[in-house]
Amino acid sequence: MSEPAIGVFDSGLGGLTAVKELKKVLPQENIIYFGDTARVPYGTRSETTILRYARQDADFLLSKGVKLIIAACGTVSSVATELYDTLPVPYTGVVIPTANAAADATKNGRIGIIGTPATVKSCSYKREILRSNNRISVYQQACPLFVPLVENGFISRDDEIVRLTVERYLKDLKDAGIDTLILGCTHFPIIADAISDYLGRGVTLIDSGKETALFAANILGSRGILSRSGEKGECRYFVSDTVEGFSKTAEIFLGSSDGISVKHIDI
């Protein structure tokens, strides 16, 4: 790569939704993505294990000379907050930009949050929302089955399994009258249609990948480290487990797998 890249990591391949948004917002930037597919999911691990994995993921990206690191994993962003003070390059998770966007979007002051069990347990999104506006009512729901549904290709809004799972998890949030919902895991935008169908048009969905991409653009701009090449950026992909099936999964998350190659690394 001719210029330093943005480094993005996730526990699996859900962070590719953040890469998709980065390519829209910052098409000139190089991106290096690492998916820790050998150890997914992080959401059911202990805080100590999540922090250890996150540090190893970040170290791999640093070995590639990246200029910014994004933890596209909601679980890491919520639990491994120590990373903010220990990395030699700018770093962001998905929590702060997403929580701020939700606080700005709500009209009735009722926000729902869905994520992995670790993310919900941490109350990270809730804390950031209340820091912005302590009059907002926040409702949380762990949705542990959403990640395996997406990774196994159950993503259609018309799929009965998807519809029933969405209804099971989101009924209480719907009954609470939320008008804004944070998709607190990068897998969740893949089934946003089914979520929106159930909650109705009056509920705004906040995509953590999109908000984090916009936040990253601000970080790079404020530090004067945006790419000046004027050319379309290059993307490289790495995983810690088999590369078989990556193209099919990448097509789900990125919308296309054309021209994508992936390498296996031992983390």
Distance between CA atoms of residues 181 and 68, nearest Å: 28
Residue 22: band (very low, low, confident or very high) from pLDDT cuts 50, 70, 90: very high
Which residues neighbour 139 within 8 Å (Cβ) at sequence distance 6 or greater?
110, 111, 112, 113, 172, 173, 176, 178
Q: Note the pLDDT of residue 263.
A: 95
Q: Is 256 a residue whose pLDDT tops 80?
A: no
19 with 73, same domain: the answer is yes
What's the number of domains the chain is made of?
2
Q: How large is the average pLDDT for residues 101-106?
A: 98
Q: Determine the structural domain holding residue 103 and report its residue range.
A: 95-208
| Selection from 171, 163, 161, 106 nearest residue 133 by Cα | 106
228 with 135, same domain: the answer is no
113 with 171, same domain: the answer is yes
Distance between CA atoms of residues 78 and 18, nearest Å: 16
Beta strand ranges found along the chain (DSSP E): 6-10, 31-35, 68-71, 91-92, 110-115, 137-142, 180-183, 204-207, 235-239, 262-264
154 with 238, same domain: the answer is no
82 with 117, same domain: the answer is no
Distance between CA atoms of residues 31 and 19, nearest Å: 8
Of 82-96, 147-161, 164-178, 252-266, the range with the lowest mean pLDDT is 252-266
Q: Give Cα separations from 260 to 6, 52, 251, 257, 267 (angstroms).
A: 17, 29, 10, 6, 21
What is the residue whose two structure tokens read 């519809």? 163
114 with 194, same domain: the answer is yes
Q: Note the pLDDT of residue 253.
A: 86
Residues 187-245 pLDDT 10s: 899 999 999 999 999 999 999 999 999 999 999 999 999 998 888 999 999 999 999 87
87 with 25, same domain: the answer is yes
Residue 215 included in any domain? yes
| Cα 27 off chain centre by | 19
Q: Note the pLDDT of residue 188.
A: 93
Domain end call among 166, 187, 208 = 208
Residue 220 included in any domain? yes
Residue 101 included in any domain? yes
Residue 54: band (very low, low, confident or very high) from pLDDT cuts 50, 70, 90: very high
Domain end call among 191, 208, 225 = 208
Residue 83 included in any domain? yes
Residue 40: band (very low, low, confident or very high) from pLDDT cuts 50, 70, 90: confident
Q: Is 36 a residue whose pLDDT tops 80?
A: yes
- Is residue 123 annotated as part of the catalytic site, yes or no? no
154 with 73, same domain: the answer is no
Q: Is 139 a residue whose pLDDT tops 80?
A: yes
Domain end call among 165, 191, 208 = 208
Which residues neighbour 10 within 8 Å (Cβ) at sequence distance 6 or greater?
16, 18, 33, 34, 35, 36, 71, 72, 73, 76, 186
Collapsed DSSP state (helix, strand, coil) of residue 262: strand
Q: Give Cα separations from 242 to 1, 132, 188 (angstroms).
A: 24, 42, 23
102 with 181, same domain: the answer is yes
Distance between CA atoms of residues 169 and 68, nearest Å: 35
Q: Which of 73, 123, 143, 235 is catalytic?
A: 73
Residue 1 included in any domain? no
Residues 151-192 pLDDT 10s: 888 999 999 999 999 999 999 999 999 999 999 988 899 999
Q: Which of 123, 143, 185, 235 is catalytic?
A: 185
Q: Note the pLDDT of residue 244.
A: 86
44 with 129, same domain: the answer is no
Q: How large is the average pLDDT for residues 29-50?
A: 92
User: What tokens does 43 get?
Assistant: 């959401």
- Is residue 143 annotated as part of the catalytic site, yes or no? no
Distance between CA atoms of residues 69 and 7, nearest Å: 5
The b-or-e profile of 190-207 (16+ CB within 10 A means b, else e) is: bbbbbbbbbbeeebbbbb
User: What tokens does 245 get?
Assistant: 């099936």
- The chain-wide mean pLDDT, for the chain, equals 93
CATH code for the domain of 80: 3.40.50.1860
Q: Is 252 a residue whose pLDDT tops 90?
A: no
Q: Is 41 a residue whose pLDDT tops 80?
A: yes
73 with 119, same domain: the answer is no
Q: Note the pLDDT of residue 245.
A: 76
103 with 204, same domain: the answer is yes
Q: Residue 145's CB: how many other CB atoms inside 10 A?
A: 15
